[in-house]
């Protein structure tokens, strides 16, 4: 086979297809930045999946291109090709290899899912309410004064458990940078676990068509250093207490 006249052109085509495939993968930023431990776990899995797919793609495409060129029927040749019984070794190979590959991916993906579902003891619990067409976030656990915001604040490096409820239809909380998406279903409390590992502001997007305002149903996930996060908790609670205590003042200020 090595001395076959097909070997050299096939190698050349394979190299060209490889270069184009690798360039297509490496030169384009296909995914948004990663900002959670969960995203990093998916990333390694995805890299392996892309690399395995690229390898298979290159082999199939190179053989296909060469076959189209080398074994093209002559003009006017309407005859059938020679009878072909198949190739047992080849058929066993292309059955066994994908089976091993798929099994390995299945096991790996399961491990990632199990790791991503693990709850940390020092996690922060935040309640999420979705309604047409807005998100709200409530801090009740571990704070003196419960408070609500329109954006989600998360401490860097510490796990957050979102307990999510919907007051009307199905919504879905999606943060691309966290690589996490979870439906919010009326009548159920669904959860999402995230360990943010990069300070920044990321979009929260509703990923389940929920009505006319679906496209506008957005909020922000703001990841802060632990100190800033503690400051945010203290400030937000003080604000609620001040508002509660100063109702008469607010009322008199509103009167001209």
Q: Which of 189, 164, 186 is nearest to 174 (CA)?
A: 164
For Cu ion, which is the closer residue by CB, 194 or 217? 217
| Total interface residues for Cu ion by CB under 5 A | 5
Q: Are 163 and 173 in contact (CB under 8 A)?
A: no
Element (H, E) at 129: strand 124-131
Phi, psi (5° rounding) for residue 143? -120, 155
Q: Are 240 and 52 in contact (CB under 8 A)?
A: no
Residue 215 C-beta: closest distance to Cu ion, Å? 8
Residues 160-219 that bind Cu ion (CB under 5 A): 171, 206, 210, 214, 217
For Cu ion, which is the closer residue by CB, 39 or 217? 217
Residue 220 C-beta: closest distance to Cu ion, Å? 16
For Cu ion, which is the closer residue by CB, 17 or 206? 206
For Cu ion, which is the closer residue by CB, 131 or 237? 131
Residue 179 C-beta: closest distance to Cu ion, Å? 19
Per-residue burial over 34-58, b = 16 or more CB atoms within 10 Å of its CB, e = otherwise: bbbbbbebbeeeeeeeeeeebeeeb
For Cu ion, which is the closer residue by CB, 152 or 206? 206
Residue 148 token pair: 């609500």
For Cu ion, which is the closer residue by CB, 34 or 171? 171
Please tell me whether residue 167 adopts helix, strand or coil conformation: coil
Q: How far apart are CA 62 and CA 59, in angstroms?
A: 5
For Cu ion, which is the closer residue by CB, 159 or 166? 166
Residue 184 C-beta: closest distance to Cu ion, Å? 9
Residue 175 C-beta: closest distance to Cu ion, Å? 14
Residue 134 C-beta: closest distance to Cu ion, Å? 10
Per-residue burial over 198-226, b = 16 or more CB atoms within 10 Å of its CB, e = otherwise: beeebebbbbbebeeebeebebebbbbee
**Alpha-carbon distances of 217 from 31, 129, 130, 243, rounded to whole Å:** 22, 12, 9, 27
Residue 176 C-beta: closest distance to Cu ion, Å? 15
- Applying CB under 5 A, the residues found at the interface with Cu ion are 171, 206, 210, 214, 217
């Amino acid at each position: 086979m090595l001395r076959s006249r097909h070997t050299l052109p096939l190698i050349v085509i394979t190299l060209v297809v490889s270069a184009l495939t690798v360039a297509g993968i490496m030169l384009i930023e296909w995914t948004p930045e990663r900002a959670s431990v969960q995203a990093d776990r998916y990333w390694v899995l995805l890299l392996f999946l892309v690399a395995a797919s690229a390898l298979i793609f290159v082999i199939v495409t190179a053989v296909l291109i060469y076959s189209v060129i080398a074994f093209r029927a002559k003009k006017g040749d309407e005859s059938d090709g020679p009878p072909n019984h198949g190739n047992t070794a080849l058929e066993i190979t292309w059955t066994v290899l994908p089976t091993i590959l798929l099994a390995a991916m299945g096991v790996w993906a399961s491990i990632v899912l199990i790791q991503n579902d693990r709850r940390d003891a020092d996690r922060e619990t935040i309640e999420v309410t979705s309604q047409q067409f807005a998100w709200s976030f409530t801090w009740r656990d571990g704070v003196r004064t419960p408070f609500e915001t329109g954006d989600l604040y998360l401490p860097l490096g510490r796990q957050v458990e979102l307990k999510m409820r919907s007051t009307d239809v199905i919504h879905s909380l999606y943060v691309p940078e966290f690589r996490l998406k979870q439906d919010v279903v009326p009548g159920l409390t669904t959860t999402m676990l995230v360990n943010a590992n990069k300070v920044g502001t990321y979009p929260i997007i509703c990923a389940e068509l929920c009505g006319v305002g679906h496209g506008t149903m957005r909020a922000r996930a703001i990841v802060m250093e632990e100190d800033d996060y503690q400051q945010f908790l203290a400030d937000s609670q003080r604000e609620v207490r001040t508002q509660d205590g100063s109702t008469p003042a607010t009322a008199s200020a509103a009167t001209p």
